């Protein structure tokens, strides 16, 4: 292990020992100071991110920084994360919050400053030092976000090295850190390679899965409203949020109305030849993954590289497809202003298509529905394997908690379907070890009844139930 890597790990472990002694009031002062500086620098950090990565849109990068700073802070500010956090006199159980230890935070190129801010805030709130690992093509802006947060934390007498960042890490360096016993948890938000490496490191990890998000527009929905909201979501930072819609599914008798609305709101409906051309530049068939060169780019940029001649005011490329799978590239997750459209004969076929899309690279993540029929919403939700069912709102903003009351977060769990431990929006509560003080109970059947009965073959569960319920 390189000396500089060993030093980072040693410093993080030392900071963890110091941080564990802080009280709630001191922790909250640190977190508030970091929130303030992150929010106050939301625009300059967004400008740096756009300039360095060439991805997304400035105004949306600003809003991502708002979610990561203001909304995350307001969500966690009153949370107890130190000492006794709950007492249940009836059960005789007291819960105590303890920090995990140093956290290794992988930051994606798509949200290079906002994800850093968000992970720093939830780590500091739980007294966990954090080591920030930026994407190599976004290192400057991510490190600047970490730096200003660290300075603000130190102004409130935070532990030295409670926030660190790494530069020029090789793959071997990263793997060594992830597997080191000084690292308590890996927060892995990024490409599948790094996320899989985190899970295989032997260190506990919270990661994310892919989000091939289907959106179903029911007959009861306001179609024009739905299309407007879908575009607002898909165009948000040029589609770089993994909860953005990937395919719209409708019934056949809605086709004309839906297509007219898409056109009105700036979508360009591609023909078969254009779909093939865009597929070649948007998707790498050999790797079976989206092409990183078009991630976060505009519809005009993608069309130009695909050789399409489209109207100057086009905001989104729409591809009407019939199938889902490896031979249909645009049925996959594409983090750019490209959207698939499926037209099905009836409700059952439409929902089945959503399920098919969900299982093709988006299990456990997010699904979206526009409907004014509660029964339809419930039926749809029961059939989808998604951690978030976003109703009548833009999926990107709804899933991260901007337009919904879900916990504001830039790491969205996908449950076991997405090979994650939870379907939650990851926040401070996931970065705590909870101790439980348990007192003896004297009201349980095992304590109050003759234990010899348990060794009598003639003593059945039915007899036990009758005796138990007659005594409560």
Q: Which residues are catalytic?
A: 242
Q: Tell me phi and psi for residue 400, to 5 degrees.
A: -85, 0
What pairing do the DSSP bridges indicate for beta strands 338-344 and 316-320? Answer: parallel
Residues contacting residue 101 through CB under 8 Å, at least 6 positions apart = 13, 16, 128, 129, 182, 183, 184, 185
Place of tokens 């299990």: 363
What are the residue ranges of helices labelled H in 24-69?
A: 24-40, 42-53, 58-66
Q: Where are the beta strands (DSSP E) in 321-451?
A: 338-344, 364-370, 386-391, 432-438
Residues 411, 122 contacting (CB under 8 angstroms): no
Burial of 151 (0-12, 13-18, 19+ CB in 10 A): middle
Q: Is 450 exposed, middle or buried (0-12, 13-18, 19+ CB in 10 A)?
A: exposed
Q: How far apart are CA 67 and CA 70, in angstroms?
A: 6
Nearest CA to 143 out of 124, 168, 121 is that of: 168
Residue 420's nearest CA partner among 239, 265, 196 is 196
Alpha-carbon distance 77 to 100, whole Å?
A: 19
Pairing of strands 432-438, 93-99: antiparallel
Neighbours of 44 (CB within 10 A): 15
Collapsing DSSP to helix, strand or coil, 279 comes out as helix
In DSSP terms, 317 is beta-bridged to: 268, 338
Judge whether 46 and 112 are in contact, CB under 8 Å: no
> Length of the chain, please?
472
CA 332, CA 16: separation in Å to the nearest integer? Answer: 42
Residue 57 CB neighbour total at 10 angstroms: 17
**DSSP annotation string for 288-355:** TEE-GGGTT--HHHHHHHHT----TT--EEEEE-S--BTTBGGGS---SSEEEEEEESSHHHHHHHHH
């Amino acid at each position: 292990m390189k000396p500089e890597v060993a030093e980072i790990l040693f410093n993080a472990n030392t900071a963890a020992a110091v941080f564990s002694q802080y009280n709630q009031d001191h922790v909250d002062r640190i977190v508030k100071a970091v929130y303030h500086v992150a929010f106050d620098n939301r625009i300059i950090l967004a400008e740096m991110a756009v300039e360095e990565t060439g991805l997304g849109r400035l105004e949306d990068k600003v809003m991502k920084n708002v979610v990561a700073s203001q909304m995350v802070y307001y969500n966690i500010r009153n949370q107890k994360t130190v000492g006794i956090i709950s007492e249940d006199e009836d059960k005789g159980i007291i819960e105590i919050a303890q920090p995990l230890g140093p956290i290794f935070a992988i930051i994606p190129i798509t949200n290079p400053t906002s994800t850093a801010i968000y992970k720093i805030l939830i780590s500091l709130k739980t007294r966990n030092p954090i080591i920030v690992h930026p994407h190599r093509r976004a290192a400057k802006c991510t490190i600047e976000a970490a730096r200003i947060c660290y300075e603000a934390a130190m102004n409130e007498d935070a532990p030295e090295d409670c926030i660190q960042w790494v530069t020029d890490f090789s793959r071997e360096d990263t793997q060594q850190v992830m597997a080191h016993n000084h690292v308590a948890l890996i927060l892995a938000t990024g490409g599948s390679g790094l996320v899989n490496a985190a899970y295989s490191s032997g260190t506990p990890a919270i990661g994310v899965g892919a989000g091939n998000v289907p959106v179903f527009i029911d007959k009861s929905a306001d179609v024009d409203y739905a299309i407007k909201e879908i575009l607002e979501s898909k165009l948000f930072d040029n589609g770089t949020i993994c909860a953005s819609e990937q395919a719209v599914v409708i019934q056949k008798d809605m086709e004309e109305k839906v297509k007219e609305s898409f056109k009105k709101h700036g979508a360009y409906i591609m023909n078969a030849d254009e779909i093939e051309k865009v597929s070649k530049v948007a998707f790498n068939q050999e790797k079976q993954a989206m092409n990183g060169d078009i991630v976060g780019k505009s519809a005009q940029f993608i069309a130009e590289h695909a050789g399409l001649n489209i109207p100057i005011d086009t905001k989104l490329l729409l591809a009407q497809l019939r199938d889902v799978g490896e031979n249909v590239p645009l049925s996959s997750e594409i983090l750019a202003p490209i959207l698939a459209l499926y037209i099905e004969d009836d409700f059952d076929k439409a929902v089945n298509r959503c399920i098919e899309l969900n299982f093709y690279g988006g299990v456990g993540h997010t699904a979206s529905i526009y409907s004014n029929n509660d029964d339809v919403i419930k039926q749809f939700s029961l059939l989808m394997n998604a951690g978030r069912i976003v109703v009548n709102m833009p999926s990107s903003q709804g899933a991260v908690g901007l337009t919904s009351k879900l916990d504001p977060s830039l790491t969205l769990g996908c449950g076991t379907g997405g090979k994650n431990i939870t379907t939650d929006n990851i926040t401070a509560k996931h970065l705590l070890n909870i101790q439980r003080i348990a007192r003896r109970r004297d009201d349980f059947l095992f304590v109050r009844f003759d234990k010899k009965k348990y060794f009598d073959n003639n003593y059945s569960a039915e007899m036990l139930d009758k005796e138990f319920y007659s005594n409560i």
